[in-house]
Amino acid sequence: MSFRFRVFGLVLLVAVIAIGVTAWLSIRLTALEIAQSQETSTRNEVTTVAEIQAYALRHGTWAGVDKTVQRLSIANHQRIRLTNLYGQVTVDSDHLANRAARAVVSPPALVDSRPTLKFPPEMLGAPRTPMEQKTGITELETKTLLQIALFRGTVVFARCLTDLHVDPPPVTLNEFGVPYATTGVEDSHDCGTRVGDVGAAEQPYDELPVKQCRAEKDQAKCLIKAFGERVATFTPEPLQLYLGAVTDDATNLISRPGLVAGSGVLILVILGTAVIARHVSLPVRDLTVASRRLADGHLDTRVPSGGRDELGQLSDSFNRMAAALEASEQAQRRLVASVAHELRTPLSNLLGYLEALQDGLVPPSRELFASLHDEAELQRRILDDLQDLTLAEAGHLTYRRCDFDLADLVDTARVAHLAVAEAAGVRLTAETAGPLPVHADHDRLRQVLGNLIGNAIRYTDRGGHVALRAFPDADHITVEVRDTGCGIAPADLPFVFQRFWRADPARDRATGGSGLGLTIARQIVRDHTGDLTVESALGEGSTFRFTLPTTN
């Protein structure tokens, strides 16, 4: 099946589903009570739970909560049902309104009147006082017992007033998060006496769960749990809150105008889908043909740009990919040609001398064998450099990083090349502003410096000067290799770091260079998150400069 027909079928399927969903939503929207109930339930659930929980904290019982439920139900235009954890109904606004109880639609919310004990931060982790060490009773235990007694008194006092049909006073949270009743009402009733009697009678019972926490590693956490378990014995039981209701008489309002509108939408979708499928399939077909030509080796294949939309971006990405493949193929061909050219000359020399030795045309001598050895060594260096370059560009070159002073490495490199420089009649100096700490591969950076110094000496005439400098610069370290040699022409500067490039091919052949050293050096520096650059003026000399991040 073609892409156009698949797009057409997909959009058509989506259109049919959309029409069906729209019809279903239209039917559901006829039940306005459900929509209003669900919206109100989501909006008012938190406040409803808070108000009912506040009632339990203030009154100490669920007795009389029906008035609060009825008030909230009328104010929020919402059905409210409270049940215990076993599903037994405590109060239902439908019953209060003298109507049959309807099914609930929302998941229940827990209404738990138990407070959570909180210890002030200064009490946690404080060392035990001498009195605590003597009695074995910590301040946390004492405060927990006092808070249990305080909250029990508050609950009993509020429950007593509620039984006497007196509105209890408001409660306030103390520093431990435990509510307590304000005073002023107990003087005119017998409720204060009941609070004292209950607190004195149940004091030993409170100590049992608290004592069990003395051996716990986290005593505060254990006491908080013991507090919750203890107050659960005299606080109102937790309830489940249900909000909203299912309507009783949802009607089906599918009519002829609805069917006509749905059919019209379906026709418009079909026509629009046909246009979209044609618009999408043509660029996709062009991309398919072009990709096949590209796979057959026609790397110059391109597709016309399709604009600024996604298909246009896909066409541009394809063209960039094809251009990259073509450039990579050309670079590979140039590399193969360069490698063949570099290996051909030393191999021809080796074969020529070996054939001459074999035919007896050239007498064997130490100098001849040394020359043949040099030719073989040149081939080995070329192959080694090619292997290093391949590993470096693939990100597989092995680095053994360590902390060392780059100034010491520069001085070591100068000493190592001093004999070569003296033999070439070139003055080699080094200037470092040490110490210059870096975290890098010591041997690889020595390889970079060796290549730069060797090139500088090679292209500097007798009596010239090669200067090494290393100094800190902002958040990195800069190393320079400056020479007074022949320099590089401005037109040649962009090609300095390309494979097998030479400023003077004849002179470089005599010295045995492979033409890969600068390419490898720049890749090594970049793998150390630095960069290698060059500045040069023809006839005045060149300056190769690389930077490395410093370590503090």
Quick one: pLDDT at residue 506?
47
Mean pLDDT (whole number) for 181-197: 56
8 Å CB contact between 442 and 409: yes
Q: How confident is the model at residue 546 (pLDDT cuts 50, 70, 90)?
A: very high
Quick one: pLDDT at residue 249?
43
Quick one: pLDDT at residue 406?
92
Compute the distance between CA of residue 261 and CA of residue 360 in angstroms, rounded to an integer: 104
User: Token pair of 503, please?
Assistant: 């400023």
8 Å CB contact between 338 and 370: no
Q: How many CB atoms lie within 10 A of CB 269?
A: 17
**Least confident interval from 193-202, 262-271, 344-353, 490-499:** 193-202
Compute the distance between CA of residue 266 and CA of residue 12 in angstroms, rounded to an integer: 8
pLDDT digits (tens, 9 = 90+) for 27-48: 666 555 555 655 655 667 888 8
Compute the distance between CA of residue 130 and CA of residue 113 in angstroms, rounded to an integer: 37
Is 261 or 448 the better-scoring residue by pLDDT?
Answer: 448
Cβ-based burial of 380 (10 A; exposed 0-12, middle 13-18, buried ≥19): exposed
Quick one: pLDDT at residue 205?
47
Question: Is the confidence at residue 346, as pLDDT, over 80?
Answer: no
Quick one: pLDDT at residue 32?
57
**Least confident interval from 180-184, 198-202, 293-297:** 198-202
Angle at 417 between CA 415 and CA 420, to 5 degrees: 130
User: Token pair of 502, please?
Assistant: 């030479």
Whole-number percent of the chain with pLDDT over 90 = 15
Question: Is the confidence at residue 327, as pLDDT, over 80?
Answer: no
Compute the distance between CA of residue 155 and CA of residue 191 in angstroms, rounded to an integer: 11
Q: Which residues pair with 172 in a beta bridge?
A: 180
8 Å CB contact between 156 and 162: no
3-state secondary structure at position 35: helix
Tell me the whole-structure pTM to 2 decimals.
0.41
Q: Which residues of 422-448 are buried (b: 16+ CB within 10 A; e: fewer)?
A: eebebebebebeeebebebbbebbebb
Q: 216-225 — which CB contacts under 8 Å span 24+ positions?
A: 219/138, 219/140, 219/141, 220/119, 220/124, 220/140, 223/117, 223/119, 223/140, 223/141, 223/144, 224/116, 224/117, 224/118, 224/119
> Which of 398, 472, 410, 399 is CA-nearest to residue 439?
399
Compute the distance between CA of residue 477 and CA of residue 551 in angstroms, rounded to an integer: 10
DSSP state of 546: E
* Residues near 438 by beta carbon (within 8 Å), at least 6 away in sequence: 403, 404, 405, 406, 445, 477, 548, 549, 550, 551
Question: Is the confidence at residue 202, as pLDDT, over 50?
Answer: no
Mean pLDDT (whole number) for 52-71: 88
Angle at 18 between CA 13 and CA 19, to 5 degrees: 100
Average pLDDT, rounded, for the chain: 78
Question: Is the confidence at residue 510, as pLDDT, over 60?
Answer: no
Quick one: pLDDT at residue 139?
82
Token pair 């040069």 is found at 536
User: Token pair of 185, please?
Assistant: 């009402």
Q: How confident is the model at residue 109 (pLDDT cuts 50, 70, 90)?
A: confident
CA distances from 150 to 5, 167, 497 (A): 77, 20, 84
Compute the distance between CA of residue 534 and CA of residue 275 in angstroms, rounded to an integer: 57
**Least confident interval from 24-28, 150-154, 217-221, 536-540:** 24-28
Phi and psi based region of residue 395 (left: phi greater than 0; alpha: psi -120 to 50; beta: remaining): left
Rg of the Cα trace of the chain?
A: 45
pLDDT digits (tens, 9 = 90+) for 255-282: 555 566 667 667 777 777 777 666 667 7
DSSP state of 309: S
Quick one: pLDDT at residue 287?
79
User: Token pair of 405, please?
Assistant: 């002073």
pLDDT digits (tens, 9 = 90+) for 114-135: 888 898 888 887 777 777 666 6
Angle at 174 between CA 172 and CA 177, to 5 degrees: 100
Mean pLDDT (whole number) for 81-90: 89
Query: Do strands 531-537 and 401-405 pair parallel, antiparallel, or not at all (unpaired)?
Result: unpaired
Mean pLDDT (whole number) for 92-106: 82
Q: What domains can be seen in the chain, in order of their start residue?
A: 121-234 (no CATH), 399-549 (3.30.565.10)
Compute the distance between CA of residue 171 and CA of residue 187 in angstroms, rounded to an integer: 17
**Least confident interval from 65-69, 327-331, 363-367, 401-405:** 327-331
Q: How confident is the model at residue 196 (pLDDT cuts 50, 70, 90)?
A: very low
Compute the distance between CA of residue 469 and CA of residue 44 in angstroms, rounded to an integer: 75
Compute the distance between CA of residue 101 and CA of residue 89 in angstroms, rounded to an integer: 11
Q: Is omega for the bond preceding 549 within 30 degrees of 0, making it cis?
A: no
> Which of 233, 231, 222 is CA-nearest to residue 148?
231
Element (H, E) at 379: helix 366-393
Q: Which residues pair with 535 in a beta bridge?
A: 543
